[in-house]
């Protein structure tokens, strides 16, 4: 199966912005194992700004553009250093790809991106994709990695996109406020009811939240790609998703 896995900052880093070592080690191990089993995988990884915050010892996520971009420049290095080290331990080679919204909108740049992705997958490498935060201003940025991951998944003909987050999936109500909230196992269609279940932005270090995940689901479903939201706190969930069982929400792609 060809799949795209997206990990959010809340999965990769502690709230301090420092790396969650145990979790990232587990994540790299499971992804390596799935690759060894023959799955074609691309990883969309957030965490550049969050880790830059940790490395530069900033007290919180910066609000102004230059500091955000500086934090991303520092954090992206750290991120790739960690992935390179951990995946190398399992004999897998990582490749860094940084893109912006402009690269997707421009058809020739988009086809270069897709061709490079295809070749990397053919060569057995693991593409690790993030937005090029140091140049992506508001006008040209995709803005969040849930949407970026959906764009990647639909462009490379993936069958499945998995968004690993700090929540098990989409609930019938906010589970932090309502203890009767139940996890939705399958969503067949994005309508106003589903959109209403998504609140605002998520963690203090990342960008997304449920709203960006629902719009990512819409992009995937319209292109016939399945999408899953699952809790990244236990990366072993990836095995369960591949077997089609476990605690997560599946958004079913429209069958063409
Ligand atoms: N590109 C941002 C980063 O690496 C993350 C965007 C997002 O959290 O969606 O920090």
Q: Tell me if 232 sits within 8 A of 206, measured CB to CB.
A: no
Ligand 1 shell residues, CB under 6 Å: 8-9, 46-50, 72, 130-131, 133, 144-145, 206-208
What is each CA distance from 183 to 8, 180, 188, in whole angstroms? Answer: 20, 10, 14
Query: What atom of ligand 1 comes closest to residue 76's alpha carbon?
Result: 4
Mean pLDDT of 29-52: 96
**pLDDT tens-digit map of 157-184:** 999 999 999 999 999 988 878 889 899 9
Q: Reading across the β-sheet that carries 160-165, which strands appear in turn?
A: 94-99, 126-131, 40-45, 2-7, 160-165, 226-231, 249-251, 186-187
pLDDT at 208: 54
Closest CA to 148 of 74, 252, 43, 69: 43
Of 103, 128, 131, 212, best ligand 1 pocket probe by most atoms within 8 Å of the beta carbon = 131
Is 252 labelled a binding residue? no
Q: What percent of the chain has pLDDT over 70?
A: 95
Mean pLDDT of 6-22: 89
Farthest-apart Cα atoms in the chain, separation: 50
Mean pLDDT of 121-147: 89
Q: Tell me if 11 sits within 8 A of 166, measured CB to CB.
A: yes
Look at residue 200 and tell me whether its pLDDT is greater than 60: no
- Distance (Å) from CA 84 to ligand 1 centroid: 19
Is 166 labelled a binding residue? yes
- Mode of pairing for the β-strands spanning 226-231 and 249-251: antiparallel
For the chain, strand residue ranges (E) read 2-7, 40-45, 94-99, 126-131, 160-165, 186-187, 226-231, 249-251
- Distance (Å) from CA 93 to ligand 1 centroid: 22
Look at residue 207 and tell me whether its pLDDT is greater than 70: no
pLDDT at 139: 65
Closest residue by Cα to atom 5, ligand 1, is 46
Is 211 labelled a binding residue? yes
pTM here is: 0.93
1-5, 144-148, 175-179, 185-189: range with lowest mean pLDDT: 175-179
- Distance (Å) from CA 143 to ligand 1 centroid: 8
Is 68 labelled a binding residue? no
Q: Tell me if 202 sits within 8 A of 185, measured CB to CB.
A: no
Is 45 labelled a binding residue? no
- Distance (Å) from CA 180 to ligand 1 centroid: 32
Distance, CA of 31 to CA of 33 (rounded, Å): 5
Look at residue 138 and tell me whether its pLDDT is greater than 80: no
- Distance (Å) from CA 50 to ligand 1 centroid: 8
Mean pLDDT of 215-228: 97
């Amino acid at each position: 199966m060809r799949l795209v896995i997206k990990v959010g900052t809340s999965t990769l880093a502690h709230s301090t912005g420092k790396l969650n070592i145990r979790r990232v080690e587990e994540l790299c191990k499971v992804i390596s194992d799935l690759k060894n089993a023959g799955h074609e995988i691309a990883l969309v990884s957030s965490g550049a700004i969050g880790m830059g915050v940790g490395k530069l010892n900033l007290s919180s996520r910066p609000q102004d553009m230059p500091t955000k971009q500086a934090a991303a420049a520092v954090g992206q290095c750290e991120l790739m250093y960690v992935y390179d080290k951990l995946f190398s331990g399992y004999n897998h080679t990582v490749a860094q790809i940084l893109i912006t919204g402009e690269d997707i909108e421009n058809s020739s740049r988009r086809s270069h991106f897709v061709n490079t992705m295809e070749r990397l997958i053919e060569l057995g490498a693991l593409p690790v994709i993030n937005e090029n935060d140091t140049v992506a201003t508001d006008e040209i940025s995709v803005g969040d990695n849930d949407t970026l991951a959906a764009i990647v998944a639909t462009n490379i003909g993936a069958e499945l996109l998995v968004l690993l987050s700090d929540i098990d999936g989409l609930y019938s109500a906010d589970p932090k406020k309502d203890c009767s909230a139940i996890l939705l196992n399958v969503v067949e269609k994005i309508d106003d009811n589903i959109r209403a279940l998504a609140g605002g932005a998520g963690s203090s270090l990342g960008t997304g939240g449920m709203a960006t995940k629902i719009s990512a689901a819409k992009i995937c479903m319209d292109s016939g790609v399945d999408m899953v939201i699952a809790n990244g706190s236990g990366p072993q969930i990836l095995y369960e998703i591949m077997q089609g069982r476990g605690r997560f929400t599946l958004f079913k792609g429209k069958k063409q």
